[in-house]
A and B are shown apart, each in its own frame.
Chain A
Amino acid sequence: MQTEIIVAGFGGQGVLFAGQVLAYAAMDHGLHVTWIPSYGPEMRGGTANCTVIIADEEIGAPLVKHPKAVIALNRPSLDKYEPLVTAGGLLLVNASLIDRPVAREDVQAVYVPANEIAERLGDKRLTNMVMVGALLGATGVLEMNAVQESLKAHLPAKHHRLLPANYQALEEGAQIARETLAQAA
């Protein structure tokens, strides 16, 4: 059993860190995991992405063409990865910055106004955690508790005052994903 997740957005949206949070949580809970950032000229264009693979057995390729889930933090990311998500897969769309719906009907779309939620919680840098929360709410790839524990374990102590807001961001993202899936069902 293997889940491939691509997190994509602008540089500065916390794309790589969002992936690392997932990677640390998977590692801390005894799963196999790989994290690899985008590697190529597209980095110079201002977009960033990373691929996280979580599995219960040795992981082969750290990159895949057709991921099971994509967190799209901006429009170019949705345009790039919507055609690539595997059929039956998941598209988590940052509706704050992406002004179009998902066109494909064979994937599950979850729209999350992540920037608005982050700003309401007091820090726009929480956008990535809202989206990670939505991933957790929409899939069983990792437990919410696991991610929160790992966030605490791997965030430097000087940032621990930010933990409650990060937990809240995760919870709100998860809540939206659960509601979306309940409506779809």
Chain B
Amino acid sequence: MAEAALRAGCEAYFGYPITPQTELLEHMAARMPELGRAFVQAESEVAAINMVYGAACTGKRVMTSSSSPGVSLMMEGLSYIAGTEVPAVIIDVMRGGPGLGNIAPAQADYHQMVHGGGHGDYKQIVLAPASVQEAIDLTVLAFDLAEKYRSIAVVLADGSLGQMMEPAELPPMQPLKKGAPEWAVTGEPGRPRRQLTSIYLQPEDEETTNIRLLRRWMEIEANEVRYQGYYLEDAEIVLVGFGTSGRVALSAVRQARAEGIRAGLLRPISLSPFPTEAVKAAAQSAKAMLVVEMNAGQMLTDVKLAVQGACPVDFYGRMGGVVPLPDEVLAEIRRLHANPPADLNGHTRAAWLDRLELVRGGN
């Protein structure tokens, strides 16, 4: 991801080490000076994100990376970046939490990144890679989208991607862009003054900004939804999972198919904007949906909003840094296939916790 970022033209990196993404910072520490670009190990995540904020105001491609607790520290800065409408790329390699948690792979920061985190009325682009190749490709895409929409673009990965080796191809080195966008502050004398700020003391002015942000977000929703479908054409049991849990779900779906169960998978790649229409469409012909996550059911909320009761939506997740195995998910598919629930209103998580106790007891 680090090499992909600099090949995408990242000119400044600011960060602070934290497992499981320190290798990314290390690679940047070696490569950025080689290329004559800026690398700063800041004194904290708070400092790092504010350095990103400042550098982003010059219109250059800039980024930071961190993991869950470190990203929490960046929330104020992210809100300021959003409010100032400058592009920035954030890589968040999620780990077990809350609190200091552990360094194992998790997806428990979905809500934080997709539904807010920082204060104020803003949305950010969130992309979730499931493979090493996708981690590379989405990092490059994040820079393009951030720049195009003057938005924050987050690549939301987890620790198992950071540990894994897979064949992948890096993109060619992009030449650095010359010049600066028409909004960037560059210190150039003689032209009209440009000002970048997130302060609008008059509520009407702030509202104007909020409207601009929202209109831009609606454009992003219209243009930038990404997902991948597997075996959806005739699927009766439709799984929804992103990142690593999406991969685990894919294995389970294939095993279910081998048993004659018509299972399919919808893997959101853009978590924000969420593939609402695709989920809704897949629900129309499904007997049941199963959301698989490495958290307590965060994307579950968005899936239920998309499905709007068209079919029952059930849930299976592991938490705290535990990665579900395909066999666990397969057992869930078999259960839903044998007894498609008529209605799951209100009890999705309670029933899942009961089943989880049995799985944990068996370990």
Contact = CB atoms under 8 A, between A and B. Distances in A.
Contacts of A56: none
A23 interface: yes
B38 to A, nearest CB: 32
A64 B326 contact: yes
Interface string B252-274: 11100000000000000000000
Interface stretch (A32-40, A108-116, A135-143): A32-40
Given A34-B166, A37-B163, A65 B327 contact: yes
Interface string A22-42: 010001000011111101100
Contacts of A35: 164-166
A182 interface: no
24 contacts: A20-B165, A23-B165, A27-B167, A32-B167, A34-B164, A35-B164, A35-B166, A36-B160, A36-B165, A39-B163, A60-B250, A60-B252, A60-B253, A61-B247, A61-B250, A61-B251, A61-B252, A61-B326, A62-B160, A62-B247, A63-B323, A64-B325, A65-B325, A65-B326
Contacts of A40: 104
A39 B325 CA distance: 14
A135 B264 CA distance: 33
Nearest to B324: A61
Contacts of A33: 166-167
Interface of B: 104-105, 159-160, 163-167, 247-254, 323, 325-327
Interface in A47-97: 58-66
A62 B326 CA distance: 10
A39 B104 CA distance: 8
B254 A60 contact: yes
Contacts of B167: 27, 32-33
Given A33-B166, A34-B165, A37-B163, A63 B325 contact: yes
Contacts of A20: 165
Contacts of A37: 163
B81 to A, nearest CB: 33
A40 B325 CA distance: 15
B326 A60 contact: yes
Nearest to A32: B167
Nearest to A27: B167
Given A34-B165, A59-B247, A61-B247, 19 more contacts: A27-B167, A35-B164, A36-B163, A36-B164, A40-B104, A59-B251, A60-B247, A60-B248, A60-B249, A60-B253, A61-B248, A61-B251, A61-B325, A62-B160, A63-B160, A63-B323, A64-B325, A65-B325, A66-B327
